[in-house]
Amino acid sequence: MECKTPIGIFDSGYGGLTILEQIRKRLPQYDYIYAGDNARSPYGSHSYEIIYECTLQAVKWFFRRGCRLVILACNTASAKALRTIQQKDLPVIDPERRILGVIRPTVESLNKITRSTHIGILGTQGTIASRSYPIEIEKLFPHMTVESEACPMWVSLVENNEHDKQGADYFIKQHLENILKKDILIDTLVLACTHYPLLEKKIRKHLSGEIRLVYQGQLVAESLENYLRRHPEIALKCSKGGSCRFYTTEVEEKFASMASVFLKEKIETERINFET
């Protein structure tokens, strides 16, 4: 009998932990491997080629660890690399394995959230430049109007643990004002970067109560649960022990101490290199 293996969760750094947390809440029975490419993050300002190469290396690393299912818990990697890896690389590497991203489940939820049908997307430069959100929204909900805003400083605020400090307000206010100026009818703002939930308090402070924020964690977790229900052939290959192991391309101590800001618990980490 084939042995069962953990579900892989990948992010450029810490942001994917906000997705992992919700996935583990919803599907605690499975085993997970989380890997962050912290040594090369942030991905947001890298070129398409670099993001694609780094993500592909990470996916191959998860596959060498046996994972049959890998979630790209990173909008930048989902926007820039997912489609190419699914269409070009996966058929060659192993057509039996699966890679899922975070953009589709987020977009699918929008018609239940917006009333005005005017949507704002907040993300990294890479995600916004890829136009993945407007393209995906146009496919599913062509009646919706979409504006986007790249927030290049927001990931750095989180990665440097400055997100709760006073200086963060300037950058948060600036991008919120920018996007709402582009379309005053926006009633729904998508936090299209897995780091952004950590900025929630400050984002709320600078927004009117009328505007709804879309967080991806629960949406991705719900969509994964549906996926596993619809694909028992994949679900049956995922091991169920309720464990989670953490890996990073940075030094262990640095990852572990920042990860505890995201997860509010202490974790053990192992340093890895995606190329080996």
Q: Is 44 in the site for ligand DGL (CB under 6 A)?
A: yes
Nearest-approach distance from CB 20 to ligand DGL, in angstroms: 12
- For residues 153-192, which are near ligand DGL according to CB under 6 A? 155
Based on the residue annotation, tell me whether 54 is a catalytic residue of this protein. no
Name, in order, each residue with C-beta under 8 angstroms of 257's C-beta and a sequence gap of 6 or more: none
Nearest-approach distance from CB 143 to ligand DGL, in angstroms: 27
What are residue 185's phi and psi, to 5 degrees? -90, 0
| Cα(107)–Cα(141) distance, integer angstroms | 9
Q: Estimate the crossing angle of helix 16-26 against helix 252-263, to 10 degrees.
A: 60
- For residues 68-127, which are near ligand DGL according to CB under 6 A? 74-76, 124, 127
Q: Is 42 in the site for ligand DGL (CB under 6 A)?
A: yes
Torsion sign (Cα): 258, 262, 265, 270: negative
Nearer to ligand DGL, 99 or 238 (CB): 99
Based on the residue annotation, tell me whether 238 is a catalytic residue of this protein. no
Using a 10 angstrom Cβ sphere, with 0-12 exposed, 13-18 middle and 19 or more buried, the burial of residue 226 is: exposed
| Cα(49)–Cα(44) distance, integer angstroms | 12
Count of residues that interact with ligand DGL, criterion CB under 6 A: 17
Q: Estimate the crossing angle of helix 216-230 against helix 16-26, to 10 degrees.
A: 50
Instruction: By CB under 6 A, name the one of 6, 13, 36, 197 that touches ligand DGL.
Output: 13
What are residue 121's phi and psi, to 5 degrees? -110, 125
Instruction: By CB under 6 A, name the one of 5, 12, 22, 248 that touches ligand DGL.
Output: 12
Binding mask 187-216 for ligand DGL (x = CB under 6 A): ------xxx---------------------
Catalytic positions:
74, 193
Q: Residues in the site for ligand DGL, rule: CB under 6 A?
A: 11-13, 15, 41-44, 74-76, 124, 127, 155, 193-195
